[in-house]
Structure 1
Amino acid sequence: MKAKILLCEDDTSLGFIIADQLKSLGYDVHLASDGKEGFKAFNEDHFHLCIFDVMMPKKDGFMLARDVRKVNADVPILFLTAKSMTEDKIEGFKAGGDDYLTKPFSHEELQFRVKALLKRVNVDVEEEEEHLVKLGSYTYDKDNYMLTHPEFEKKLTKKEAQILAMLCKFKNQVLPREIVLNAVWGQDDYFVGRSLDVFITKLRKYLSQDQKVSIENVHGIGFKLEITHE
């Protein structure tokens, strides 16, 4: 399996050039053109490394890194920036970044930084992500969007599957509401918020066969998928 890289760069030409350079090194690259698109992509797939341009529309690289760190504390983040000021680098590290690359940079420097970051976190690209999740007496197949129970089976829609996958990742922890909205819809306004409530209600119904499994509201914050053990 190739190492997968999420590249977020709003300069289309530069984005394609960097993506091609990374692909020539044997990496699998997903290119996003802004921070909101990047965060959605991050939550829809599994990436070994993130490369974020700092200055992007809708959600800049620092904001994107902070959102990513709320759901994944370990994935390496490399910032790309036209600025070399110390204050910007400090802000990048505070946002959760691991390294900084100042534009313009050479193909060799990009190659070195990427290899160093993947090595630093000891990424095993052969390791398979867990696709079957046990939720009490349920089994959730994340690949096929299938939720099964001895007396129940349900094929989830894409959005139902995305929301349940995030709840599973935060099992028995609080999942902030805005993180779900930005990850699934790319925005967190009132209307998509109402849609999220509808999907949560549906998921509660699907999980109602097991009293030890529940999705709880955490007032003013978000949701918690609670699995109680006897």
Structure 2
Amino acid sequence: MKRETILIADDEVEIADLVTLHLEKEGYNCVKASDGEEAIHAIQTQSLDLAILDIMMPKLDGYEVTRQIREKHHMLPIIFLSAKTSDFDKITGLVIGADDYMTKPFNPMELVARVKAQLRRSKFNQTTNHSMLIEAGGLAISPEQRSVTLYGETIELTPKEFDILYLLASHPKKVFSAENIFQQVWGEAYYESQNTVMVHIRTLRKKLKEDKNKYIKTVWGVGYTFNG
């Protein structure tokens, strides 16, 4: 069975070594990068299953590394591990395309648990056979290709944005609470779920040009539904 490979990009050697130690104990292969350029090189030249990125790295910061990954439609799960603790930093990371965000100092075992959760979700998305193309008011969602078009124009979504949209669109008119969305998309219960889901919904609406099209409807005090 193939061992999954994880990129750890952090200019703090002690942290990179600590994360590597705990992940290797769980049977993962680890690739380390000490700056953003090394991280991009590793992503381009190696077969990776997940990336753990610091934000404040030399040469290219974690935000820019994530932007470059997502520009190429890369479905690689990304976890930010950063000393930046403000809500603004967390929201920025999630909007750019990270799948999860942990702050330093951190519990290594919690990080391992989050890595496992992201890998489970990624594997499920790759192996589940979806065949139904969803079309609604100019919007076309292909679960097989994990692609979205709006009136023929390709809409670039992060993996989590796609998962949220597909969840809602495949159950039109059904109302999902923020907690329910988080549990189904991230595959775990999480106390910050409401804020995380809200950020992704906001970005989804912007990408879907919801000033002209109303696909995701807020049911105040309850959650969200797809207005297909």
- TM class by shorter-chain length? 0.5 to 0.7
Question: Match of 1:79?
Answer: 80
- What are the within-5 Å matches in structure 2 for residues 208-227 of structure 1? none
Structure 2 CA distance for partners of 1:123 and 1:43, relative to 1, 3 Å: farther
SS of 1:47's equivalent in the other structure is coil
Question: Match of 2:12?
Answer: 11
1:115 aligns with 2:116: yes
Deviations 1:33-87 (Å, cap 9, x if unpaired)? 0000110111001111011001101000010000011224311000011122110
Deviations 1:84-127 (Å, cap 9, x if unpaired)? 211001110121100001111112201111011111222699x9
- What are the within-5 Å matches in structure 2 for residues 78-227 of structure 1? 78-122=79-123
Greater relative contact order (CA < 8 Å, ≥ 6 in sequence):
1
What amino acid is the match of 1:13?
E
Distance of 1:17 and 1:78 partners within structure 2: 16
Question: Match of 2:29?
Answer: 28
Distance of 2:124 and 2:56 partners within structure 1: 28
Distance of 2:125 and 2:23 partners within structure 1: 18
Question: Match of 1:216?
Answer: none
How far is 1:20 from its partner?
A: 1.3
Distance of 1:23 and 1:102 partners within structure 2: 21
Question: Match of 1:44?
Answer: 45
TM-score normalised according to structure 1 size: 0.52
What amino acid is the match of 1:120?
R
Distance of 1:17 and 1:101 partners within structure 2: 15
Unpaired stretches in structure 2, ≥5 consecutive residues: 128-228
CA contact (8 A) 1:48 1:123 kept: no
Unpaired stretches in structure 1, ≥5 consecutive residues: 128-230
Question: Could you list the runs of 4 or more consecutive aligned residues of structure 1 that deviate by over 4 angstroms after TM superposition?
Answer: none
Instruction: Give the count of matched residue pairs.
Output: 126
Give the structure with higher Rg (CA): 1
SS of 2:123's equivalent in the other structure is coil
Distance of 2:42 and 2:124 partners within structure 1: 20
Question: Match of 1:190?
Answer: none
